[in-house]
Amino acid sequence: TQLLEQSPQFLSIQEGENLTVYCNSSSVFSSLQWYRQEPGEGPVLLVTVVTGGEVKKLKRLTFQFGDARKDSSLHITAAQPGDTGLYLCAGARETSGSRLTFGEGTQLTVNP
C-alpha cells in the first residue's frame, strides 16, 4: 500500500494548457515537499509546505497543502515544454524524523 498516492500517473498536454497534479494520503504529514526530476538526474526540490491550508507560488507553479495536512496539489499555469519531467511529492511524518516518504510520481509531457 502506497502511503502517498499521486494522480494522474501520466499527463500529456499541449503548450499553454493548465494542469493540476494531486498527492493524497490517509496519514497526516508535518511537511510536504514537491520535487521535479529530469531524465538521468536526481530529483530537485521545488517547494516545502508546512502549514495546513498553505499556498505557495513559484512563478507559474502553485502549491497547496490541504487543511488537514493529508494532501497537496501542484497547479501549473500555461505549461511550457521546459516543464516536462517527473513530479514527485514527498511527505515527512512526526514519527519518521528526517525520512521522507515519496509518492509514485506524475510523468508530465508538455508538447510544443
* Chain contacts with another protein (rule: CB under 8 A): 2, 4, 6, 9, 31, 33, 35, 40-45, 48, 50, 88, 90, 92, 97-105
Please identify, using beta-carbon distances, which residue of 58 and 78 lies nearer to another protein.
58
- DSSP 3-state assignment of 95? helix
Please identify, using beta-carbon distances, which residue of 15 and 38 lies nearer to another protein.
38
Q: What is the spatial distance between Cα 41 and Cα 9, in angstroms, rounded to a whole number? A: 19
Taking the complex as a whole, how short is the minimal distance between the CB of residue 112 and another protein, in angstroms?
25
Taking the complex as a whole, how short is the minimal distance between the CB of residue 106 and another protein, in angstroms?
10
Q: What is the spatial distance between Cα 3 and Cα 9, in angstroms, rounded to a whole number? A: 15
Please tell me the chain's helix, strand, coil percentages from 3-state DSSP, rounded to the nearest 5.
Answer: 5, 50, 45
Please identify, using beta-carbon distances, which residue of 18 and 30 lies nearer to another protein.
30
Taking the complex as a whole, how short is the minimal distance between the CB of residue 17 and another protein, in angstroms?
24
* Residue 100 to residues 9, 45, 64, 70, 91, Cα–Cα distance (Å): 20, 12, 18, 14, 5
Please identify, using beta-carbon distances, which residue of 10 and 112 lies nearer to another protein.
10
